[in-house]
């Protein structure tokens, strides 16, 4: 391992050999950040500074970094088993049985390595079984980097209601087959399905759109999704890549009482080890069986490391104590930051669900924040300034507007105290104009 003297040096070396210096586009922030260690609720940068971590690698770390029992399980398995790539292992069967037990829609399960692969497979299956091409997603949701879904996440106001692809090189014909609707808008959904419901293969929905912070689905919207997709023979897919395991072992579907046809999982499922799952109704999922006509493949699918980490993570989540702890601390953080802002006369709305809390620089009079369109009221400059200043105080909140903060089992009441102290300092020093 090469010795590193500073974040600046590491970033400069990275930029010489890695395009833009990062291995995933959204890992680059406004200042050079090299990371050399992570443990519990914090990580250490290459300048030796320890930062309390609310970013949590975009969400997987529900137990905290380097969880000792998850790591021990992984160490144990790699002494016994590596990748064989034929047949099936005892541990992948055990994991599939566990997922079928916990997840309401899961009669069958398949394992892969990333959320993008899972949403890709879900859409392929939906297109195969319906023999239709078009899919629906919602403004503000992210489902991975493939062409069918990489559009309309944090769109500029002038792109709302239009296609907003996030990369060059995407197939125009694939972009054309994706319709984008406003979240929580039953009328818009009903109208599109009345017009062309019989051409739509799937509705793919981040059931809490956490990629724009924390927007909660309204019960009427959930009911309409289920009722209308059934009526028009459309496959309803919940993307639970963030919500799954983080909010409940059975995903958000186990909390909201609406069961989709298919659902995708990743992130908190294995506390940061790479693994993802596609779960769903047997009648659909069996089409992936060899000979079923729909291909599902991957050299690394169900790799023993990810499978073992998932089993060990799920074991930690079984009794509900982790979820209760994270929820309590996230409530404290959300309430505390909201109260400080109110005292200081700063318009701020903090939305919290389970272990996730998100401060929006929006006047609380605008509540409830129903969809991305409502979040356009967020003061982006203040949002990014606040987060950047929190980072300078040793509290790492991703310095990008609307991004969520995640509490893990490793966070403590003292961490929340420290966070609130820092928030008071930062908010008190916030200039009137940024
Ligand atoms: C809701 C959701 N779905 C899918 C994905 C894609 O997952 P991955 O980055 O593992 O490919 C993400 C990633 O952030 C996500 O947030």
User: By residue range, what is the domain housing residue 360?
Assistant: 7-66+320-428
Model confidence over 39-60: pLDDT tens digits? 999 999 999 999 999 999 999 9
User: Does 119 contact ligand 1 (Cβ within 6 A)?
Assistant: yes
Q: How far is the CA of 118 from the centre of ligand 1 (A)?
A: 9
Q: Is 189 within the bounds of a domain?
A: yes
Which residue's CA is the nearest one to ligand 1's atom 3? Answer: 143
DSSP 301-338: TT-HHHHHHHHHHHHHHTTSHHHHHHHHHHHHHHHHHH
Is there a single domain that holds both residue 290 and residue 326? no
| Rounded distance between C-alpha atoms, residue 48 and residue 37, angstroms | 9
User: Does 116 contact ligand 1 (Cβ within 6 A)?
Assistant: yes
Q: How far is the CA of 69 from the centre of ligand 1 (A)?
A: 25
Model confidence over 208-235: pLDDT tens digits? 999 999 999 999 999 999 999 999 999 9
Is there a single domain that holds both residue 271 and residue 403? no
Is there a single domain that holds both residue 28 and residue 123? no
Longest dimension (CA), the chain: 64
| Rounded distance between C-alpha atoms, residue 199 and residue 214, angstroms | 31
| Rounded distance between C-alpha atoms, residue 21 and residue 36, angstroms | 15
User: Does 241 contact ligand 1 (Cβ within 6 A)?
Assistant: yes
- Is 176 among the residues known to form the active site? no
Is there a single domain that holds both residue 46 and residue 75? no
Is there a single domain that holds both residue 308 and residue 331? no
Residue 4: pLDDT over 80: no
Phi, psi of 173 (to 5 degrees): -65, -30
Is the CB of residue 84 less than 8 Å from the CB of residue 273? Answer: no
Mean pLDDT of 119-144: 98
User: Does 266 contact ligand 1 (Cβ within 6 A)?
Assistant: yes
- Is 421 among the residues known to form the active site? no
User: Does 143 contact ligand 1 (Cβ within 6 A)?
Assistant: yes
Q: What's the pLDDT score for residue 265?
A: 99
Q: How far is the CA of 243 from the centre of ligand 1 (A)?
A: 11
Q: Name the pTM for this structure.
A: 0.98
| Rounded distance between C-alpha atoms, residue 429 and residue 424, angstroms | 8
| Rounded distance between C-alpha atoms, residue 406 and residue 194, angstroms | 39
Q: Is 202 within the bounds of a domain?
A: yes
Domain boundary among 317, 341, 362: 317
Tell which residue, 268, 277, 238, 421, has the closest CA to residue 355: 268
End-to-end Cα separation, the chain, in angstroms: 42
| Rounded distance between C-alpha atoms, residue 61 and residue 40, angstroms | 9
Model confidence over 275-299: pLDDT tens digits? 999 999 999 999 999 999 999 999 9
- Is 372 among the residues known to form the active site? no
Residue 1: pLDDT over 70: no
Confidence of residue 2 (pLDDT cuts 50, 70, 90): low
Average confidence score pLDDT of the chain: 97
Q: Is 1 within the bounds of a domain?
A: no
Q: What's the pLDDT score for residue 5?
A: 78
Place of tokens 């897919």: 237
Domain boundary among 317, 350, 368: 317
DSSP 352-376: EETTEEEEE-S-GGG-S--SHHHHT
Model confidence over 374-410: pLDDT tens digits? 999 999 999 999 999 999 999 999 999 999 999 999 9
What's the total number of domains in the chain?
2
Peptide bond before residue 368 is cis, with ω within 30 degrees of 0: yes
Phi, psi of 270 (to 5 degrees): -130, 25
Q: Is 2 within the bounds of a domain?
A: no
Q: Is 176 within the bounds of a domain?
A: yes
Is there a single domain that holds both residue 62 and residue 76? no
| Rounded distance between C-alpha atoms, residue 429 and residue 426, angstroms | 5
Place of tokens 């069961």: 259
Sheet of strand 134-138, all strands in order from the earlier edge strand to the far edge: 108-112, 276-280, 262-265, 235-239, 200-206, 134-138, 178-181
């Amino acid at each position: 391992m090469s010795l590193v003297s500073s974040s600046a040096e590491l970033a400069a070396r990275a930029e010489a050999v890695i395009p833009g210096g990062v291995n995933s586009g959204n890992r680059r922030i406004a200042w050079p950040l090299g990371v050399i260690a992570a443990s519990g609720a914090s990580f250490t940068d290459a300048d030796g500074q320890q930062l309390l971590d609310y970013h949590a690698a975009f969400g997987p770390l529900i137990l905290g970094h380097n969880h000792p029992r998850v790591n021990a399980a992984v160490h144990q398995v790699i002494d016994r088993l590596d990748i064989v790539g034929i047949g099936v292992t005892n541990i992948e069967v055990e994991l599939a049985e566990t997922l079928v037990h916990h997840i309401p829609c899961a009669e069958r399960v398949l394992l892969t390595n990333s959320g993008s692969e899972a949403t890709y497979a879900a859409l392929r299956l939906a297109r195969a079984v319906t023999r239709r091409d078009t899919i629906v997603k919602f403004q503000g949701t992210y489902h991975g980097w493939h062409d069918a879904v990489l559009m309309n996440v944090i769109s500029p106001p002038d792109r709302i209601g239009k296609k907003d692809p996030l990369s060059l090189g995407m197939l125009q014909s694939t972009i054309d087959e994706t319709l984008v609707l406003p979240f929580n808008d039953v009328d818009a959904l009903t109208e599109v399905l009345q017009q062309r419901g019989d051409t739509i293969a799937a509705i793919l929905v981040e059931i809490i759109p956490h990629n724009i912070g924390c927007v909660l689905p309204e019960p009427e919207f959930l009911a309409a999704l289920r009722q209308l997709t059934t009526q028009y023979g459309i496959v309803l897919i919940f993307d639970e890549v963030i919500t799954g395991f983080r909010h409940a072992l059975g995903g958000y579907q186990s909390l909201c009482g609406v069961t989709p046809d298919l659902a995708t999982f990743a992130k908190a499922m294995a506390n940061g080890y790479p693994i993802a799952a596609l779960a769903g109704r047997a009648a659909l999922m069996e089409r992936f069986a060899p000979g079923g006509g729909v291909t599902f493949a991957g050299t690394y699918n169900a790799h023993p490391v990810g499978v073992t980490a998932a089993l060990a993570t799920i074991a930690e989540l079984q009794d509900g104590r982790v979820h209760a702890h994270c929820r309590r601390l996230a409530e404290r953080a959300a309430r505390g930051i909201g109260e400080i802002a109110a005292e200081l006369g700063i318009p701020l709305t903090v939305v919290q669900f389970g272990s996730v809390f998100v401060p929006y620089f929006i006047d609380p009079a605008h509540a409830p924040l129903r969809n991305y369109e409502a979040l356009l009221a967020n003061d982006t400059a203040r949002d990014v300034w606040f987060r950047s200043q929190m980072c300078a105080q040793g509290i790492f909140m991703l310095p990008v507007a609307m991004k969520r903060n995640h509490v893990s089992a490793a966070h403590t009441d003292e961490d929340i105290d420290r966070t609130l102290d820092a928030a008071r300092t930062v908010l008190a020093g916030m200039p009137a104009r940024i």
